[in-house]
Amino acid sequence: MTDRLHPALIAFAVLVYFFLMGPLVIVIGAALSDTGYLTFPPQGLTLHWFERIFEMSAFRRTMVTSFQVATVSTCCALLIGIPTAYALNRYRVQLPGWLSTLFVLPVLIPEIVLGFSLLRSIQVGVGLPVVSTLIIGHTLLVLPYAVRVISASLASFDFSIEEAAVSLGSPPIKTFFTIVLPNVRAGVIAAFILAFITSINDVSISLFLTGPGISTLPIQILAHVEQFFDPVIASVSVLLMVLTVIVMAVVERTLGLTFLAK
Amino acid sequence: MTTPLILCNLTAHYGATKVLDDLSLDVGAGELVSLLGASGCGKTTTLRLVAGFLQPTAGTIHLGETDLTRLQAHKRNIGLVFQNYALFPHLTVRDNVAFGLKQRGLAGAERTRKAGEMLDRVGLSALAERLPGALSGGQRQRVALARALVIEPPLLMFDEPLSNLDARLRVEMRVEIRELQRANRTTAIFVTHDQEEAFSISDRVAIMEAGRIRQFDRPETLYSRPANAFVARFVGFENLIPLTVTARDAGRISAEGEGGIDMTLSEEDLGPIPDQFILATRPDGLRVSNGDHGIPARLGLRTYVGRAYHYQAETPAGHLIASGTLGQPRDGGETVCLVAEPEQCCILDHEGAS
């Protein structure tokens, strides 16, 4: 046995990274290009296309909508998902096996179908405003991720710890907040990030639920691409990436991102 | 602060399965009682009922004057020590110990002082600021013990607290547990599947099987005078030989069994012997002899157990295990007679056979 890596393994690793990072490099390059159309490698460097995003009110508005919808639906999904995941794990023995599968179902249904049925049932049927419908749709979309990720975290949680706290005089509800929650914090943070990013990037459900005057950023990008072929699209994409990274960084700073190490 | 615990006709179900069947148990004030049995016998269920994590389908639980039966778990004031320690991973050793005090509304300084004192008693003051993850198994169990003791509960309960420790530490910890329990005169329940552990630590032991207590007595009595065949086998009386009395002569009993078994026993050694009985012996209580009185046997495999040889023996009473001296090893196939050594024997009623 030697510690030296096989050259083929190194080559393979490099290829994987190239495959993963390549598109990002191309998009970032194209966003900086000084041409009026999408091209790579960039010809000349400019930040002009980033300015253009903010000159276009459609992008500004949809960006705000996207963030509002992502934030609210992620919070809703956590509020539903944390107690759900807790119950599914705490009472795993007593509950039927299919119950946990039930919360993964929205992932299995094609998003197009989900979007269409939401359109028919709550937007047209009940007549809710567009933003509310979007929030409900996205909550449904990200809930399975929240439940799964928090469940994974709870699966390694020893519930006798909770019983120990109760036996020492801590009421059950209080125990949940002082003992259970701090020990699955990493899972909750991971669920938040995953849910937020899933919502921000969603196209299929939003496609059905956005309406006149109210749209999300990915839908606006789609609409823009259909008409123009300028680097604005690339710069919006870069902006979206940067914002995602910022969300992760902020969450990490405020809550402590220990889950990546686990 | 010594309070008796009285369990009265407890029945519990797990779904449709009855896991505890009309169990009654009196634990005296300041007494340490072990619940001993194989897994699934209901010992942990009993403990969880007393802790309030399970509800009985029938029966009552009283701790002193207090009826615990329907009281919420967090109001029961019981110190619990778990098999896997169940320390709070995100709190320091000191905060773990102080947790119960905090729930009782003690001020910060008082909490720290009391927790510190308790950590001193279990010899862990130096580790007070560590997280549980940085401790060894023995240290964790000491923290768990300190955390349960610091609230000065009227009842302590241990759920197989030593089974995750290595053999030497286990013996050390059980002495420590016993000393702390004695010093505080706290009533205690100790759940274990380890007979030696239960016998060495307890005032009394309840041997359980299938949701019932088969015998509840002092370890010495259980060990030498089991009340039924189940307990007899459990404490090592592996040979059960059914016999019938044929003659009584001033405490000297002649008894016969199937296939020419004929034995002479003394009521002086074994206590009163009914007309129909079962002679239960440990392997050491059935000695290989050259005489023609006793149980005719054909020897099988010989094993060395340190102080003697044990022989698998085929007899009219079935398969038995006998012992022979080291000075005289015997070969498989020899035909001998087995005689009973009264100090390793006991008498069971015929009714107690099962």
In the predicted structure, residue B67 carries a pLDDT above the cut 70? yes
In the predicted structure, residue B1 carries a pLDDT above the cut 80? no
Contact B51 A182 (CB under 8 A): no
Contact B82 A163 (CB under 8 A): yes
| One domain, residues B222 and B251 | no
CA B32, chain centre distance (Å):
11
Q: How far apart are CA B245 and CA B275, in angstroms?
A: 5
Closest Cβ–Cβ partner in B53, B90, B100 for A168? B100
A83: phi > 0 → left, psi -120 to 50 → alpha, else beta; which?
Answer: alpha
Contact A165 B87 (CB under 8 A): no
- Tell me the mean pLDDT per 10 residues along chain A, length 262: 80 93 87 80 80 82 89 95 93 82 82 84 79 90 92 90 94 93 88 89 86 83 84 85 81 60 40
In the predicted structure, residue B179 carries a pLDDT above the cut 70? yes
| One domain, residues B216 and B98 | yes
For residue B51, the chain A residues in CB contact (below 8 A) are 163, 167
Digit-coded pLDDT (tens) for B243-260: 889 988 888 888 888 888
| One domain, residues B206 and B238 | no
Residue B47: predicted pLDDT = 94
Domain total for chain B?
Answer: 2
Residue where the block lists tokens 């949680």: A157
In the predicted structure, residue B236 carries a pLDDT above the cut 60? yes
Domain A57-255 in this protein, CATH class? mainly alpha
Domain assignment of residue B318, given as a range? 234-353
Digit-coded pLDDT (tens) for B294-331: 888 899 999 999 989 999 999 988 899 999 988 888 88
| One domain, residues B27 and B159 | yes
- Residue type present at position A62: T
| One domain, residues B84 and B215 | yes
> Phi and psi of A139, rounded to 5°?
-60, -45
Interface check for A157 against chain B (CB to CB < 8 A): the answer is: no
Residues of chain A with CATH 1.10.3720.10: 57-255
| One domain, residues B224 and B100 | yes
Residue A109: predicted pLDDT = 83
Q: Which of A4, A35, A53 is nearest to A237 (CA)?
A: A53
Tell me what the mean pLDDT of segment B49-55 comes to.
Answer: 93
Tell me what the mean pLDDT of segment B283-292 comes to.
Answer: 88
Q: Is the ipTM value over 0.95, yes or no?
A: no
Residue B201: predicted pLDDT = 94
Contact B100 A182 (CB under 8 A): no
| One domain, residues B112 and B78 | yes
Beta bridge partners of B311: B302, B322
| One domain, residues B180 and B242 | no
Interface check for B80 against chain A (CB to CB < 8 A): the answer is: yes
Q: How far apart are CA A48 and CA A29, in angstroms?
A: 13
Contact B99 A165 (CB under 8 A): yes
* Minimal CA separation from B99 to chain A, in Å: 7
- What CATH number is associated with residue B297? 2.40.50.140
| One domain, residues B24 and B141 | yes
Contact B88 A169 (CB under 8 A): no
Residue in chain A lying closest to B153 (CA): A168
Share of chain B above pLDDT 90, in %: 59
Share of chain A above pLDDT 90, in %: 29
DSSP B14: E
* Minimal CA separation from B64 to chain A, in Å: 18
In the predicted structure, residue B352 carries a pLDDT above the cut 60? no
Tell me what the mean pLDDT of segment B100-127 comes to.
Answer: 91
Angle at A118 between CA A150 and CA A68, to 5 degrees: 60
Closest Cβ–Cβ partner in B82, B84, B100 for A169? B100
Contact B74 A179 (CB under 8 A): no
Interface check for A117 against chain B (CB to CB < 8 A): the answer is: no
